[in-house]
């Protein structure tokens, strides 16, 4: 009787230990997903900042060369900045959904 009790005790004691291992693996996967999302939004923000800097720099250079063309350059500059920022926002949404 004692032998059967110890066998059953051993069988039931291993089940929670195996369940705990699976929970640790799941949390490690969630951590890697968070790191991937952070890298995605970081790289998107970095690229977007470089792009916006180039757009602004080119617009200021064009206005400095021809100040009368400022009104014609303003709308395309704002559109370019909006398009670059839209890509960063899309990356942010995708990172949140991960």
**Does residue 18 carry a pLDDT above 70?**
no
38-86 tens-digit pLDDT: 888 999 999 999 999 999 999 999 999 998 988 898 998 999 999 999 9
d(CA 16, CA 22): 10
Pick 67 or 11 by higher pLDDT. 67
- Give the domains, in start order, of the chain with CATH numbers: 2-97 (1.20.20.10)
- Which is nearest to 44 in space by CA: 54, 34, 36, 55? 36
């Amino acid at each position: 009787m004692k032998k059967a009790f110890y066998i059953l005790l051993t069988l039931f004691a291993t089940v929670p230990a195996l369940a705990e291992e699976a929970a640790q693996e799941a949390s490690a996967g969630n951590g890697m997903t968070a790191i991937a999302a952070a890298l995605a939004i970081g790289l998107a923000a970095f690229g977007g900042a470089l792009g916006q800097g180039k757009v602004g720099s080119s617009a200021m250079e064009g206005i400095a060369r021809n100040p009368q063309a400022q009104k014609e350059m303003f709308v395309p500059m704002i559109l370019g900045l909006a398009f670059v920022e839209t890509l960063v926002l899309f990356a942010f949404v995708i990172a949140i959904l991960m």
